[in-house]
Amino acid sequence: MSDGIQQSTILVVDDSESNIEMVLAILDNYDVIPATSGKDALELVESEHIDLILLDILMPEMNGFEVCKKLKETENTKDIPVIFLTAQKDEDSIEAAYLTGGVDYVTKPFKPVELLARVKVHLELQHLIHKLEYLATRDSLTGIYNRRKFFELAEKMFSTYDENLYAIMLDIDFFKRVNDEHGHDAGDTVLRKTTEIISNLLPSTSVFGRLGGEEFAVILTASADEKVIHLLDKIVSTYANTKIAISPKQEIQCTLSCGMSPRYRYTDSIDELLKEADAALYEAKQTGRNRRVIRAERR
């Protein structure tokens, strides 16, 4: 069993404390959080990172099927695998366990080897799914969102926020010169360092992606234009003053050009918002680079 799987957090939901104690003893190599009601379980998943849920079916007030249904209806919890714990072995109960979103079921009384095996299999499957999802949505060089995932998340933000939404386009100045003079390995190092610098300065709720080559984009929310302008000034100055080690004995410094556009009342789509930011970026390039330009509202 890998360390990553052992460190997984499992939520055990059962109104019987003796059953919970038994599960805790069997899963002593895992981080296990107990809950004695469906209501407590739903509150816990909102505040804790849960990798797997063991869920009793027969509980007062809210049974396991109802809890699972609520979990699957909620965006943040719909992908958490649920293994039902049940003393019932009839076909209707087993069918209901799968129809409500369960991935498996374990009958009581527990067989320690069986419970451990099922938990391990589903944690490893979940770990594999997360790994594949990461690979499918991330830029392989920098680790930030790739173009497809960036646009997917940016579209969601655009549909959520009618105002206080901003698009930023960023481009490394004279990046071709880095590749030509120092080689593509140096270029890759610069791209990774660029990503690191920008990521460290962005709010955690930002969507940050590499659109291709040396071009990056950000979608974020802010309470005022001034806050985003201050952020851009910080990014431009921090980047320009950072020495990037491209070899054990050589460092170089690069600069960034940035364009920003707020979402105006006439902005009809995420593509249009990014096009406005791109026009501001083009202006920054044309007026000297190593600067930011804010797209003014059209009159």
Task: Please give the positions annotated as active site.
Answer: 214
From residue 273, how far is each of 127, 198, 217, 218, 229 by CA, in Å? 36, 20, 11, 11, 17
Compute the distance between CA of residue 79 and CA of residue 247 in angstroms, rounded to an integer.
43
Buried b (16+ CB within 10 A) or exposed e, 194-231: bbebbeeebeeebbbbbbeebbbbbbbbbeeeeebeeb
User: Rounded distance, CA 192 to CA 139, Å?
Assistant: 11
Could you tell me which residues are beta bridge partners of residue 167? Answer: 219, 261
On whether the CB atoms of residues 189 and 243 are closer than 8 A, the answer is: no
CB 290 within 8 A of CB 255: yes
Structure-block tokens of residue 260 = 């920003």
Pairing relation of β-strands 215-221 and 207-212? antiparallel
The interaxial angle of helices 175-182 and 184-201, nearest 10 deg, is 140
CB atoms within 10 A of CB 36: 17
116: CB partners within 8 A, 6+ apart:
26, 27
Q: Which of 49, 43, 90 is nearest to 62 (CA)?
A: 43
Cβ atoms within 10 A of the Cβ of 84, count? Answer: 27
52-56 and 292-294 beta bridge pairing: unpaired
